[in-house]
Structure 1
Amino acid sequence: MEFTYHADIENQKVKFFLKRHHVSKRLLSKIKFNGGEILVNGKEENAVFRVKVGDIVKIITPDEPVNDELIAEETDLKILYEDEDYLLINKPYGIPSITGLKAPTGSMCNYVAGYFISHGYPNKTVHLATRLDRDTSGIMIFAKHSFAHSILKTQNSDFTKKYYAIVKWDENLAESGVIDAPIGRAEGSIIERRVRFDGLLEAKSAKTSYQLIMVKNGLALLDVTLHTGRTHQIRVHLAYIGYPLLGDDLYGGDTHKIQRQALHCHYVRFDNHFRENLIEVDCGLPEDLICLLESGIKEI
């Protein structure tokens, strides 16, 4: 792929000029050793060449091959958005985001690898930008090249991700709230997390906010915004304030009406640095969560 920039500082080394455009040392190394090019005004140069104001700097990144350790599989993907840099998919619940040692197939990464190959894309390496738990549904973001992946990871305040969550309602549930509490691993478990103020077991700051959207049949539909990205963050934070997700048996949620956590990533917004456009995607509640709201908890 090709990316073009116009120099605006006199006598600056190419590597420092490109760093201002988020080109990392790692990407420059790939360009140098894997068949890419750095061109200044159409002539190949190296990373220490000094540019002048007005020079046209172009980088040509090498194609990214298939990951031999990832088995490519084909399925019908629910594609919500696609351009040259990003692929956004509506993931069903029950499918893991990534493979595991005992489950080398059947993940979203397997299916995206198959999609890239079947469409003959020059870059076939799968770059997972946002991960969802197996039983969480909704929007997943895949970058279609390593440069797009690294750019997305640097977006903090410019990146928005929202989830629909369903919990049991009572009159003590505030219409909106902010949960600012660090999350770390639970003692004796490699899977479970909990709020920890002791700083132990990889505890890191975590912030979640929510808005009450609807109360129906004894249930509350929340619109939840992630401000950080910790493992199981929404599940842990809602359980911490006394409102675990319906179906989330790991964190105390009622499983009588639904056997998966009632959580769905419905909205993402971020800037595409390369095309200078805003990517904004919203998808509604899946059918099983609609049915959950309709049936409520009357029979429990």
Structure 2
Amino acid sequence: MEFEWQHHGDAVSMKHFLTTHGISMRLIKAVKHGDGQFIVNQQVQTGVITVQAGDVAGIRLPDEAADPSVTISEQPITVIYEDANWLVVNKPAGLTSVPGPSNRTDTLVNRVKGYLVAHQAPNQKPHLITRLDRDTSGLVLVAKHRVAQSMTTWAPMAATIKKTYLAWVTGQLTPASGTIDAPIGQVDAQPRRVVTDSGQKAVTKYWVQTTYPTATQVKLQLVTGRTHQIRVHLTHLGHPLLGDALYGGPMALIKRQALHAATLQLTDPFTGHDFSWQAPLPADLTQLVNQLK
């Protein structure tokens, strides 16, 4: 893999040049330690490197081989979008995002690895940029190589990544829109999170979409990204998600938390193009809406 850009302006160090194009210090250090090469005008450079005005500079990296510790799953994935850098997948409810003690063989990471290997992708180590709880459905952004992963932590791109969720909660949520600013923390080693003064800052924006006799459909956007943030914040307001057993949501109409990652937007740092994707409601949420009507 090779990524390069033309420099405009005064002479700068290679480190400064690369960081202004979204290459992380971690990746720069990896190249310094032999995992790749620095290039200027198609020539490999070492030592102290200065990039002059008009130079075309960047990095050259070996392809990422598949991680042998990650099992290949041949179960299918639903691909919403794919190019050389990104993969956008519609994750079904019931599928864990990453391998863990309870499941190391058939998570989203295992399935994406299987997909990349089957398609003989040059880089076969998926990097999940966004993650969803096991029982949350919807869009997940995957970086197909280390440079794309690095770009998602770069402030100009990170600011463009916007996700919205749809949730169905108990009761009639008021006011019709608002911002929930309440810190979230963990009690002992319990999986359930709570709003607590000693927790991490957590901010969620919401907009009521539809009000039913016993429930509300609401759109949400995360400003921060804490574990279970939407579920905790809505429970804190007294409106837990339907089907969310962990947070006291009623189970009569749906057997998993009624939460769906519905849209994803970003500005691609490689092309400058603005992208927007939408995931249709899965069958169980469509059925839920029909029941609520």
Paired residue type of 1:179: I
Distance 2:188 2:26 in 1: 37
Structure 1 residue 65, shift from structure 2 partner: 1.1
Distance 1:47-1:80 versus aligned 2 partners, 3 A rule: farther
Distance 1:235-1:273 versus aligned 2 partners, 3 A rule: same
Aligned to 1:179: 180
Alignment of 1:61-100 (within 5 A): 61-100=61-100
Check whether the contact 1:14–1:47 (CA below 8 A) recurs between aligned residues: no
Alignment of 1:1-300 (within 5 A): 1-34=1-34, 36-46=36-46, 48-154=48-154, 155-170=157-172, 173-185=174-186, 187-197=187-197, 199=198, 203-216=199-212, 218-296=214-292
Q: Which runs of 5+ in 2 are unaligned?
A: none
Distance 1:252 1:44 in 2: 59
Paired residue type of 1:288: D
Distance 1:264 1:229 in 2: 15
Distance 1:17-1:244 versus aligned 2 partners, 3 A rule: same
C-alpha RMSD over aligned residues? 1.7
Distance 1:105-1:98 versus aligned 2 partners, 3 A rule: same
Equivalent pairs counted in the alignment come to: 291
Distance 1:292 1:84 in 2: 37
Aligned-partner SS, 2:289: helix
Check whether the contact 2:14–2:49 (CA below 8 A) recurs between aligned residues: yes
| % identical equivalent positions | 37
Paired residue type of 2:146: S
Distance 1:59 1:89 in 2: 28
Segment drifting more, 270-279 vs 233-242? 270-279
Once the two structures are superposed, residues 102-127 of structure 1 have per-residue CA deviations (whole angstroms, 9 ceiling, x without a partner) of: 32111000000101111111111121
Check whether the contact 2:24–2:151 (CA below 8 A) recurs between aligned residues: no
Distance 2:261 2:85 in 1: 21
Structure 1 residue 46, shift from structure 2 partner: 2.0
Distance 2:86 2:38 in 1: 24
Instruction: Tell me the TM-score normalized by structure 1.
Output: 0.92
Check whether the contact 1:219–1:293 (CA below 8 A) recurs between aligned residues: no
Once the two structures are superposed, residues 72-113 of structure 1 have per-residue CA deviations (whole angstroms, 9 ceiling, x without a partner) of: 111221111111111111011011001112321110000001
Structure 1 residue 173, shift from structure 2 partner: 2.5
Q: Which runs of 5+ in 1 are unaligned?
A: none
Distance 1:51 1:156 in 2: 26
Check whether the contact 1:164–1:224 (CA below 8 A) recurs between aligned residues: yes
Structure 1 residue 216, shift from structure 2 partner: 3.3
Distance 1:34 1:64 in 2: 14
Structure 1 residue 4, shift from structure 2 partner: 1.5
Structure 1 residue 47, shift from structure 2 partner: 5.4
Aligned-partner SS, 1:153: coil
Check whether the contact 1:30–1:61 (CA below 8 A) recurs between aligned residues: no
Check whether the contact 2:168–2:242 (CA below 8 A) recurs between aligned residues: yes
Check whether the contact 1:159–1:271 (CA below 8 A) recurs between aligned residues: yes
Structure 1 residue 150, shift from structure 2 partner: 1.9
Segment drifting more, 243-252 vs 272-281? 272-281
